[in-house]
Structure 1
Amino acid sequence: MGYRVAVVGATGAVGRELLKTLAERKFPVKEVAALASGRSAGSDVSFGDKTVLKVQNLETFDFTGWDIGLFSPGAAVSAIHAPRAAAAGCIVIDNTSQFRMEPDVPLVVPEVNPQALTRIRRGIIANPNCSTIQMVVALKPLHDRFRIRRVVVATYQSVSGAGKEGMDELLLQSRRSLVHDQIVPQQFTKQIAFNCIPHIDKFMEDGSTKEEWKMVVETRKILDPDIKVIATCVRVPVFIGHAEAVNVEFENPVTVAEARAVLRDAPGVTVMDTRDDGGYITPLECQGEDDTFVSRIRKDPTVENGLAFWCVADNLRKGAALNAVQIAETLIAQGLLAKKAA
């Protein structure tokens, strides 16, 4: 049995990771189409070790007869083509921000709220923001056991969150910095090489950035609307892998040992917390890995029933491509996607 899967935005960093993840996880595909803008049509992308796909033009592609569309082309493009694909009967799993907060579009992390997939109304499912995904994977088991009141999070987000262009800019600026050449920022508001920028996405009226707003509203939609969240999102000179320092206040008493045990049993979580030199996971070490890694679990004495921890994840995998593929796998497991003969 197999499915016809269209990968939209196939030439981008996330699109290539989607194709890689489908192949690595042996997703039951009958046929795979790689789609991108007209300027990329005709180029080649890899699917697995032995298959090369010719990129097709998204503008003229007919989604009729295709089962799943994995979208990561940018919000403006998804706004046009995701509804077009859904109208043709293709279930869309969209990685952009376009549909996340629409009430009739499920926002899904399979380890956290797979039940939301039973509420598909428009043929579109939204993949959350990368920084939200890794945090809620860690928060979900703790919330189930101890009930979360409030979350304060500071993120340390890699440049790949800004796409290939962000990665190219960090590389170029790093080279120029080392030889004292002039640096003129293009993708970021300030120099990113050897620097940190507390600004991701646009500023909003209350002084938050849109990235910070996404973490607040997405966490509440996915996990619990009563949880209070405040985020500070920072771009750091790391190529791949997001890190987060998370402080949580619970309704019920919690010990470090209890939290560690709950997290160790949680799906999608690996605990590495030995309290010695190197007894934690960094963004560099999580690259290419599927799990969210939790370290530095400790009591927060500034609030009643408080904990602090550090978590990292590969933002191109669990923060984007892997989560989308896991959604498709969950659709199949729940019988929500009709099987078709290969």
Structure 2
Amino acid sequence: MASIFIIGGSEDLAAEVLGELLSRGHDPEQFRLLHDSATAGEFVAVGETRFRVELASEEALEEAEAAIFLGDGLLAKDFVPLLAERGTLVVDASPYSRRMGLGTLVVPEVNGELLGAEGRSQLFAFPMATTVGLAIALAPLHAFAAIRRVVATVFEPASQRGPAGIEMLSRQSVAMVSGEGVDREKHPETFAFNVRPQAAGPEGEGWAFDERMVCQEIESLFPQPAFDVFLTITRVPVFVGAAQSLWVEFDSNVSLEEVQEALRGAPSILVAGDELPEATDEEAQLVLADEEAGPLDVAGSSAVHVARLRLDPLRSDCLGMWIAFDDMRKGVALGVASVFERAWGRYGPEY
């Protein structure tokens, strides 16, 4: 009888998470997919297996042993409190739990020791993809030389706005290439062939809501005293994949060799020029040799790719770096699967 439920999210994201869990040896018969009335009845394909999406309801969740929430958080709002009260294992990768301050915020490579700890609730929140990539890159650096401050420019793809964001970018791109231009009444913001910062919130003192969320999530993930994070999230005309330009200030001087050694010894990080264990062809190896690899270049990778490491010539306590990662795979699916498995306690820990 199915006892693990994947609830909400786009078809692509649900398939990515489910596919990752199946690749780790889980029985397909264990899983059920639930969604709202607009999506119930559709099918999600993972390889040759098709899963029918059912309507999310209290009745459907009566026998749930574990639940993974994806998407915009509306279904999580309806069902996470109910499941948490029952003591059901919940991994919430939607915005709901993290914005409400519920459960334990976890990225396995950063604070994975909290998974399965005695006395903790069975509700785990998973951060937004921007935070995941940033935290994985900063964790080994903060461990060897305490970070004082980070300044980041985040390049956010259309996929972070869901299927509607991808469709909007596609339609705008076609319209502009064909010479039609973008209809400002239908699309107040032009994303195709353009770069725009996220809009500041009405009460954010110039900050966008997601920028504040990333700062709060980083503070929650790292031990106190936390370091300062100042970032700007920009929306770029890229369908999938994320990148960030980082400026890291340490409490003490560091050498480039120390930085490289710390990064190379960390989980889920690949430094440009290193060997890629999962690479089986020359093209994949060229990605690592590319010091300027972007989101498209690392699509499908299980790592956060680090490049352009350099010290400030005037300050050896300041480091510049570039990171790129697959926002759907590394930013969500792999982390969610790892949080679930380690909290579930029935499979070996993986990243």
- Is the pair's TM-score, using the shorter chain for normalization, greater than 0.5? yes
The CA distance in 2 between the partners of 1:325 and 1:73, in whole Å, is 15
Contact 2:22-2:28 at 8 Å conserved across structures: no
Which segments of structure 1 move beyond 6 Å, counting only runs of 4 or more?
none
- Give 1:121-132 correspondences, 5 Å limit: 121-132=120-131
Contact 1:158-1:242 at 8 Å conserved across structures: yes
Q: What is aligned with 1:16?
A: 15
Contact 1:5-1:29 at 8 Å conserved across structures: no
Deviation string, structure 1 residues 178-210 (Cα, Å, up to 9, x no partner): 111141368975110000110168454311001
C-alpha deviation, 1:61, in angstroms: 4.4
Contact 1:200-1:234 at 8 Å conserved across structures: no
- Count of aligned positions: 333
SS of 1:324's partner is: helix
Structure 1 residue 190 corresponds to structure 2 residue 202: no
Contact 1:63-1:90 at 8 Å conserved across structures: no
Distance 1:191 1:286, change over 3 A: same
Contact 1:193-1:237 at 8 Å conserved across structures: yes
Q: What is aligned with 2:291?
A: 279
The CA distance in 2 between the partners of 1:245 and 1:188, in whole Å, is 28
Structure 1 residue 297 corresponds to structure 2 residue 309: yes
**Which stretch of the first structure deviates more once superposed, 164-173 or 13-22?**
13-22
Distance 1:302 1:237, change over 3 A: farther
SS of 2:253's partner is: coil
SS of 1:195's partner is: coil
Q: What is aligned with 1:97?
A: 95
| Alpha-carbon RMSD | 2.6
The CA distance in 2 between the partners of 1:216 and 1:4, in whole Å, is 35
Contact 1:10-1:35 at 8 Å conserved across structures: no
Q: What is aligned with 1:328?
A: 340
- Give 1:236-315 correspondences, 5 Å limit: 236-272=236-272, 278-301=290-313, 303=315, 305-315=317-327
Contact 2:33-2:53 at 8 Å conserved across structures: yes
**Which stretch of the first structure deviates more once superposed, 155-164 or 311-320?**
311-320
Contact 1:148-1:227 at 8 Å conserved across structures: yes
Letter in 1 for 2:219: R
The CA distance in 2 between the partners of 1:186 and 1:19, in whole Å, is 38
Unaligned runs of 5+ in 2: 275-287
Percent identity of equivalent pairs: 27
Q: 2:47 aligns with which of 46, 49, 57?
A: 49
Distance 1:185 1:158, change over 3 A: farther
**Which stretch of the first structure deviates more once superposed, 65-74 or 151-160?**
65-74
Distance 1:244 1:61, change over 3 A: farther
Unaligned runs of 5+ in 1: 337-342
Q: State the TM-score, normalized to the length of structure 2.
A: 0.87
